[in-house]
């Protein structure tokens, strides 16, 4: 029981320090910067995917098939 109590106190000490660090304005500023970078990169990735899908759709002739395949069509 004594070990469990010491473990709980240590846990609370670590949790309190983590909350203190998280509330630090410098940490919040860096977190906001990271969030902005992730948003920008996600937007860029979305654009690339849209372009790839559009180019694949316009250049993909569904009527031709590779020998031995059905090209997505049922026999």
**Average pLDDT over every residue of 34-52:** 96
pTM of this prediction?
A: 0.55
The whole-angstrom separation of Cα 66 and Cα 61 is 11
**Average pLDDT over every residue of 19-27:** 97
Helix, strand, coil: what percent of the chain each, to 5? Answer: 75, 0, 25
What is the predicted pLDDT for the residue at 1? 45
What is the predicted pLDDT for the residue at 63? 52
Give, as one character, the DSSP assignment of residue 24. Answer: S
What is the predicted pLDDT for the residue at 72? 54
How sure is the predictor about 34, in pLDDT bands with cuts at 50, 70 and 90?
A: very high
The whole-angstrom separation of Cα 54 and Cα 57 is 5
The whole-angstrom separation of Cα 13 and Cα 33 is 28
What is the predicted pLDDT for the residue at 58? 81
């Amino acid at each position: 029981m004594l070990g469990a109590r010491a473990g709980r106190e240590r846990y609370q000490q670590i949790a309190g320090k983590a909350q203190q660090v998280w509330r630090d304005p410098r940490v919040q500023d860096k977190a906001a910067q990271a969030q902005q970078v992730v948003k920008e990169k996600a937007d860029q990735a979305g654009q690339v995917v849209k372009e790839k899908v559009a180019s694949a759709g316009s250049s993909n002739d569904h009527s031709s098939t590779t020998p031995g395949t059905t090209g997505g069509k049922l026999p």
